Amino acid sequence: MAEPARPTRGYSVRTLPGFAIVALFTFVALYAPIAILVVFSFNAGTSLAIWEGFSLRWYVQAAQNEQVLDAGLRSLYLAGFSASIATVAATMAALATTRTRRFPGRTMIYALINQPLMVPEIVTAVALLIVFAAVKVWTGHTSMIYLIAAHTAFCVPFAYLPIRARLETMDNTLEVAARDLYAPPWKVFTRVTLPLMWPGIIAGLMLAFVISMDDVVITEFVKSAGQDTLPTYMLGQLRRVVTPEINAISTVILVVGAILVSLFFALTMRRR
C-alpha cells in the first residue's frame, strides 16, 4: 500500500491540549454553588447555610406564598417576552451592520445599539423612572408594558453581539450560489442565511433571557404596584432575613427551564 497522502497525527485538530480539562473544571465550578443552592432548598431549618435535616417545608411555604409565586411567574414571562423581541430586533440589526463596507452611519448604529451596556444600571433606572412616571401619570396606564420596554432595550446589545460575531466571518458564498440559482431573496434568507446564523441567534437569545431574569435595579425603579419580579423580591429581603424559600423557587425554575429546553431541543432534533 502507498503511504497515506497526509502525515498522520496522533490527535485531532479539534482538540487542544488542556482545553477539555479547563472546560470540565469550569462546569464543575459553575455547578458547585448551584448544588449548594438546591441542597439548601430542602433544609428543615430557616438558614441558607446551616443544615438541619431534610424537609419540603420551603416548597410548601413557597407554594402557599402568592407573592413569591407571582414574582416567579412574572420573571419568567417578562424575560421570555423581552428576550424574544430583543433577539428579533438584534438579528435584523446584525444583518444590517455586518458583511458590508462601511456605510454612512454604521458606526453610529453600532454605538447606539451598545449604548445600554455603557451606562451603570442605576442611571438608566433613575432616568426611566422619571420618564415613565410622567407617562404613567399622563395616561393613567400602569401595565407591564413599561417593564417589557425597558428590559427589551437593555437586552438588545446582549443578543446583538453574539449574532454579530457569528455573522462577521460567515462568508456569503452559499447565499451567492443560491441567488445565482435564482432563489427568491426570502427563500435565500430562510433556507440559507438563517440556518447558518442559527447558533448565533440561540446564543444571543439565551444571553438576553438570562440578563433579563437577573435584572434588579432597572426593574426596581420601573415597576408599578404589584409588579415584583423574583430579583426585586429578593432585594427587598436582603436587609431582613433570607430564607430557603427563594432556593425552593429557584430550584423549581431550574427544573421548569430544563424541561422546557429539553422539549425544545427534542422538537428541533426531530425536524432535522
Strand (E) or helix (H) holding 236: helix 230-237
- Residues touching another protein: how many (CB under 8 A)? 147
- Determine contact, residues 59/41, Cβ cutoff 8 Å: yes
C-alpha to C-alpha distance for 217 and 122, rounded to whole angstroms = 6
Binder of another protein out of 3, 9, 173, 180 (CB under 8 A): 9
Rg (CA), the chain: 24
- Determine contact, residues 229/75, Cβ cutoff 8 Å: yes
C-alpha to C-alpha distance for 251 and 272, rounded to whole angstroms = 32
Query: Which of 194, 219, 196, 190 lies closest to 82 in space, CA to CA?
Result: 219
Binding region for another protein (CB under 8 A) out of 175-183, 187-195, 242-250: 242-250
Identify residues 88-117 at the interface with another protein (CB under 8 A): 88-90, 92-93, 95-97, 100-107, 109-117
Three cell numbers written together for 228: 415584583
Q: How far is the CB of 181 from another protein (least distance, A)?
A: 19
85 binds another protein (CB under 8 A): yes
253 binds another protein (CB under 8 A): yes
The contact pattern for another protein, residues 30-69, with x = CB under 8 A and - = no contact, is xxxxx-xx--x------xxxx-------------xxxx-x
Q: How far is the CB of 192 from another protein (least distance, A)?
A: 14
Binder of another protein out of 158, 178, 193, 219 (CB under 8 A): 158
174 binds another protein (CB under 8 A): no
136 binds another protein (CB under 8 A): yes
240 binds another protein (CB under 8 A): yes
Residue 182 DSSP symbol = T
Three cell numbers written together for 92: 435584523
Max CA separation in the chain (angstroms): 86
Cα distances (Å, whole numbers) of residue 203 to 91, 160, 251: 11, 10, 23
Q: How far is the CB of 42 from another protein (least distance, A)?
A: 14
77 binds another protein (CB under 8 A): no
The contact pattern for another protein, residues 191-230, with x = CB under 8 A and - = no contact, is -----x--xx-xxx-xx-xx--xx-x---xx-xxxxxx-x
